[in-house]
Structure 1
Amino acid sequence: MFKGSLVAMITPFTKNNKVDEKGIEELVEFQIKNGTNGIVPCGTTGESPTLSHEEHKKVVELTIKAVAGRVPVIAGTGSNCTQEALDLTSYAK
């Protein structure tokens, strides 16, 4: 079971509207350094309704890599389309 405070992370973008990989790393480091007990990428706070599936998967992968096992990652997998939500949930596992 999860315990403590988990942060619903925003998804940073570059000026060219691409997922900001360095920004994700910096946010993860900031959150862990300041005591979060877990990271939640790609929830509604993280722009999930506006991310493409490729972007969504990329954000989850980048977050897991940056966390490096230090705290749990709970990937948001919601979608307005049931099949897409199921696909994202399967991917997140």
Structure 2
Amino acid sequence: MTIDFGRVITAMVTPFDKDGNVHYAEAEKLAAYLVANGSDGIVVCGTTGESPTLSWDEEYQLFQVVQKAVAGKAKVIAGTGSNSTSEAIEAT
């Protein structure tokens, strides 16, 4: 079985507010912008560097927000990497 993720897959950065909290409304806008400008897929909490600083709840909520923002227009890939192998396995 082959899954077509598209030709342009973007590792989306996670926007934060001035207090260091995940800015979900900006994440929604950014995801929509990326898809409107050619991304076929978006990687959330991937290799952009901030994923080790997020809680699992933040990662899950971010994934939900992005998935809703691009529903039917692009694939969303959840980054499940971690500095802990057991946590990465559990998240996956």
Tell me the TM-score normalised to structure 2 length.
Answer: 0.88
Aligned ranges 1:1-93 → 2 under 5 Å: 1-45=4-48, 47-89=50-92
RMSD in angstroms over aligned alpha carbons? 1.2
Give the percent of matched residue pairs that are identical in Structure 1 and Structure 2.
49
Superposed displacement of residue 19, structure 1: 0.8
Higher strand share: 2
- Structure 2 Cα separation of the partners of residues 43 and 3 of structure 1: 17
TM superposition outliers: structure 1 runs of 4+ over 3 Å: none
**TM-fit CA distance, 1:10:** 0.1
CA distance in 2, matches of 1:72, 1:43: 14
The residue matched to 2:31 in structure 1 has which SS?
helix
